[in-house]
Amino acid sequence: MFAQRLAPAIRPRTASQLPALRCVNQSRTLLTKSISSTPALVRNSRNDLKQGSISTLSSGPSRYRQFHVTSLLNEGATDSINQKTMVAFRYYPGETTAVRETLPIPTPKPDEVVIKILAGGVCHSDLGILDPSGSIGEWHNPFTLGHEGAGIITSLGSNVSKTYPNLKEGTYVGVLGPDPCFEPSCNMCSQGKDNLCTTTDEWYGIGRDGAWAEYCAVRAICCIPVPGTPETVPPEVVAVATDAVLTPYHALKTCDKLTAGQTIVVVGAGGLGHNAIQIAKNVLGAGTVVAVDPRETSLVGAKEAGADYGVSPDDLSSLIKEKKLTVDLVVDFVGTQTSFDTALGAVKPAGTIHIVGLMAPFVKLPLMQAVLKDLTVKTSFWGCKTELAEVLDAVAKGKITPQVETKPLEQCLEVLKEFHEGKVKGRIALVP
């Protein structure tokens, strides 16, 4: 069935679409073979890393992988890269999966930098972008996917050195995906709510070129230096932290103002929920954290992450009564009617339910039940620049350890297929 959905990706373009290809259509191919037997970084152009080397390329946990990018750090924009083109996986209107193309390596505009992408995260939102029903949105122009990115700056636009002296060739950065304007005249940005900037509806990897490529041009103001190196804070961890950690961090800290000693229930303990448990316990000092998930494996992981209790949705009410818990906050990382009903039954009077998950297009609110509880229901979107800096600092200090698996960029289509079939339980980052 999924193979049938992939089929449109190999149709020839019409004449009207040719200009959008930017003279790269001749190199476009659709990946059909797995190349998992070849280590990801070894497949990079030898000229790309120059004299850099990979000391360890095991299939074990990513944090044991050593990335030696010394030459890239030293050479920066003048690294004599002979490579003029790059591989990218892109969105095209009407297509139901990413399209593999070869594009020119971007040149930075005056306020931009070019980043050598070391990892680009994949999440379920990417399936929504590729959903022909337009469940997340519709775009009329092609763009490179990947809204979670991390890498090394290789070149600077003409204005960057003067305006952002902390960014240099070789700086290791994470990318702020929402790409706010940060203009003083912007009602949201001027209040520190840059995640809600309304000057654009295009974000990196969602409307404009993102991190599923070997290089990406990014506005300098959206680059957050990582407090560490690729060896100490792996790129795949930084990449997913820009969304999968930033989103629950913004929800719990900024929106819900979770304070030390409070009791929180996390509905959905995989991915973002797993990170939320660590944020609640290790960063914000929650008193009691209850993880709720029908999957036993997720509950085991939740307890390892710091949850005090882990139960199935059917057992939550009994646990609350048995332990005499008063639930101040329920954060729903699933976003279905069933998960919302679970939250509604668990939260205390005058408590808060925060919906982060988007698995359903809407949920119904039983008004009488909500009114009798004097209930607050919240939602939130992504996160802000200052919060991403705080997130990367917490990750570097070991307070938050996202679970992430790496796959070669060239396996992008296979990864999307696995997501679509429900075979992916955690986070995946694509490594060029």
pLDDT of res. 425: 76
Share of the chain above pLDDT 90, in %: 73
Residue 393 lies in a domain: no
Residue 234 lies in a domain: no
**Does residue 15 surpass a pLDDT of 60?**
no
pLDDT of res. 139: 87
69 with 201, same domain?
A: yes
272 with 160, same domain?
A: no
pLDDT in tens, 187-233: 999 999 999 999 988 999 999 999 999 999 999 999 999 999 999 99
198 with 272, same domain?
A: no
Average pLDDT over residues 315-322: 98
221 with 366, same domain?
A: no
43 with 137, same domain?
A: yes
| E strand map for 105-148 | 112-122, 143-144
| E strand map for 105-250 | 112-122, 143-144, 149-156, 172-175, 203-204, 207-208, 215-219, 223-225
d(CA 273, CA 215): 30
Share of the chain above pLDDT 70, in %: 81
d(CA 378, CA 135): 21
Name the average pLDDT for the chain: 84
Average pLDDT over residues 259-275: 96
Residue 236 lies in a domain: no
Q: In terms of residue numbers, what domain contains 90?
A: 2-225+402-431
d(CA 352, CA 247): 17
Average pLDDT over residues 143-171: 98
208 with 282, same domain?
A: no
Residue 26 lies in a domain: yes
216 with 254, same domain?
A: no
270 with 197, same domain?
A: no
The DSSP annotation for 238-264 comes to: HHHIIIIIHHHHIIIIIIS---TT-EE
pLDDT of res. 42: 29
Global pTM exceeds 0.85: no
**Does residue 91 surpass a pLDDT of 70?**
yes
* CATH code, 347: 3.40.50.720
Directed axis angle between helix 337-346 and helix 316-323, to 10°? Answer: 10
How far from 303 is each of 18, 270, 291, 292, 343, CA to CA, in Å?
Answer: 53, 12, 8, 11, 20
Bridge partners of residue 101, in order along the sequence? 88
pLDDT top residue among 253 and 22: 253
pLDDT of res. 22: 34
Average pLDDT over residues 389-399: 98
- Number of folded domains that form the chain: 2
**Does residue 324 surpass a pLDDT of 60?**
yes
pLDDT of res. 394: 98
158 with 34, same domain?
A: yes
pLDDT of res. 134: 64
Residue 237 lies in a domain: no
168 with 251, same domain?
A: no
291 with 356, same domain?
A: yes
**Does residue 266 surpass a pLDDT of 60?**
yes
Label the pairing between strands 112-122 and 427-431: antiparallel
Average pLDDT over residues 343-363: 95
Q: What is the DSSP letter of 14?
A: P
Residue 387 lies in a domain: no
